[in-house]
Structure formats: C-alpha cells, structure tokens
Structure 1
Amino acid sequence: MRIGLYPGTFDPVTLGHIDIIQRAAMLVDRLVIGIAINRDKSPLFSLEERVEMIEAEVGVLSDRTGTEIVAHPFENLLINCAHDVGAGVIVRGLRAVADFEYEYQMVGMNRALDSSVETVFLMAEARHQAIASKLVKEIARLDGDVSKFVTPAVRERLLAKLGK
C-alpha cells in the first residue's frame, strides 16, 4: 500500500490545500493529512478545529478518489511523523519559486535523516497559487471577501472565529 503524508498547519484549510489533497490522493492508496502542532506559530484555530475542518472537507474527496484520506495531528519531526503513519512519500505543495527554496532545504534535511522517504512536489493550480492561509485570515479580519479562497463551511467558521 502506498501511503502519502501531506503536512501543514491548515489554519485554515484553503482551496489551495484541497487542490493538492485531491491530486495527491490520485497518487497514493492512503493519504494522511498531517496537521502540525507548531509551538512557534500561534494558530487562529485550535488543533481540534483544524482537524474538524480537514475531516469535513476531505470526506467528499475520499469518496470521489477512492483513496482513504485521514487527518493526523503531529508535533514531532516530519520524518518521524512519516515513520509513525507508514508513509513512503511526503507530499508538498508549491505556489511560487519562493516556496521552492525553503522546501529544497527541507528535502535535504529529511533525506539526511532518512533517505528512504521520498518527497514529491505538486504545483498548485494557477487559480490557487496566490492563496495562503495567512493572507486569507488577514482578508477576513479586514472584512474582505474570502469566498474565492476557502469553502463556504470554512468561510463560516473563519468569520465566526473573528466575530464577524
């Protein structure tokens, strides 16, 4: 069984994330969405809320692709999380050249830790390349329309979280 791990903070999950999840699901038999617990970041949504949003959004994708897609919170090294879930491949989404430089360093470190786990990059669809969770939160905070960047359910949760 080919198991892939797509890690991220998903604060909140965007249409860009969903695009990568859908396409990654076509490459593996089981896709684990690794929801990072990062003490250096201060997410707007709690871990439980982020897991709930991911689970709500990927159910349809799992049915559509025939791939099992599950949420898995993690706080350890990414390579250790890959070991924990049995992943032989880490999936990373790229939006722009700037993403590549950081991701290139991460691949090098992960390969030094365990060269048996491969990393695969998927480019975001053109219409999703500008989407970043940080920017989505800022737009929503400043009363902008985020409906082009997140699903209606995530939009509702985001606006509720911001008291809008």
Structure 2
Amino acid sequence: MYTGTFDPVHYGHLDVIERGSKLFDKLIVGVGINPDKKTLFTIEERVRLIETVAAGWPNVEVQSFEGLAVRFVRDSGARIMLRGLRTLSDMEYEFTMSLMNLAQDPAIETLFLMAKEEFSHVSSSLLRQIAALDGNLTKFLPQPVLDALKERARRP
C-alpha cells in the first residue's frame, strides 16, 4: 500500500509506484485527503490521473480513501505501507509517522524507498506553484498530468 494525496502525481511518485510494483505481487495506491493540505484536484481527479499514468503496471490498483491511512491499510488487508523519502526532513516526519502507525496497528510495517537523485527535490506543492507561474514542468510530470495541471492553473 502506497498512500498519499498525490496532488498532482509526479515522476517521483511514479518511481516509487514502479519500484513497489516490482517488490510486491499487488500494490494499492491509496489516494487520501489530508486535512492540513488544500488540494488543487478533487480526489476523483487524482485517482483518474494516477490510473492513467500507472496503467502500464498491471499489478497496481488505485483506490481513494478517507480517514487514517493506517486504518485504510488494515481494512484493505495489506500489511506493508510503502513510503518514499526525499530528504532528511522527510525522514524525520516519516519516521515519526511510522511509529504512530505502529502504535495504531502493530501488524503493519512501513517500508521506505529512497528517492532517486533526480526526484529528491520534487514536491507536488512546488509543482503547483511553478504551474501557477507558467513554468516549465515537462521534466517532472507525465503529459496527462501536465495537461491537467496547466488547465487547472489557468482557472481563476
């Protein structure tokens, strides 16, 4: 299970999805709502975009969820939460989150994948900012996501 808000999904996320799809027989990408984040795309739009760009991996399934990610993982029958790490600050946040998830459900383990160097600085929030200022995002987003982000960024 790989959970996140994915607003928008970018090549760093897709790298974790691809690598996770090779590690597990089935990988569920859980698209959630983080009450601390204001999203640009609806949850349905984010699910559709991920389904579109992850279609090449037959063992990847995309589902939306509400509430705690650890509860979604448990309810789905999964036992491993896959997380990507970009920076040291990510490590601190994710380590704390994994301990809290372990306290919520000791049967669920967290597996961390280090970001490849070319994705270590990429974040969805930064990409949204660049899109709002009409910057070049072709190195960071697959075309369907880039098109959707450009369209959304043009709206008032």
1:38 to 21, 34, 37: 34
Q: What is the deviation of 1:163?
A: 1.6
Listed as ranges, the matches of 1:149-164 within 5 Å are 149-163=140-154
Residue in structure 1 matched with residue 23 of structure 2 by the alignment: 27
User: Conserved in 2, the CA contact under 8 Å of 1:89 and 1:120?
Assistant: yes
TM-score by length of 1: 0.91
Give, in whole Å, the separation in 2 of the partners of 1:22 and 1:40. 27
State the secondary structure of the residue aligned to 1:25: helix
Residue in structure 2 matched with residue 84 of structure 1 by the alignment: 75
Listed as ranges, the matches of 1:84-163 within 5 Å are 84-163=75-154
State the secondary structure of the residue aligned to 2:93: helix
Residue in structure 2 matched with residue 65 of structure 1 by the alignment: none
Q: What is the deviation of 1:126?
A: 0.8
Deviations 1:17-41 (A, max 9, x none): 0000000111111111010122332
Deviations 1:85-130 (A, max 9, x none): 1111000000011100000111111111111111000011111111
State the secondary structure of the residue aligned to 2:126: helix
Q: Could you tell me the percent identity over the aligned residues?
A: 41
Give, in whole Å, the separation in 1 of the partners of 2:83 and 2:50. 16
User: Conserved in 1, the CA contact under 8 Å of 2:9 and 2:50?
Assistant: yes
Deviations 1:56-111 (A, max 9, x none): 0111133xxxxx21111111211110112111100000001110000011111111
TM-score by length of 2: 0.96
Q: CA RMSD in A?
A: 1.1
For structure 2, list consecutive stretches of 5 or more residues without a partner in the other structure.
none
Aligned length: 155
Give, in whole Å, the separation in 1 of the partners of 2:149 and 2:68. 28
Give, in whole Å, the separation in 1 of the partners of 2:34 and 2:85. 20
Give, in whole Å, the separation in 2 of the partners of 1:142 and 1:92. 30
User: Conserved in 2, the CA contact under 8 Å of 1:32 and 1:85?
Assistant: no
Moved over 4 A (4+): none
For structure 1, list consecutive stretches of 5 or more residues without a partner in the other structure.
63-67
User: Conserved in 2, the CA contact under 8 Å of 1:25 and 1:69?
Assistant: yes
Q: Supply the AA of the counterpart residue of 1:53.
A: L
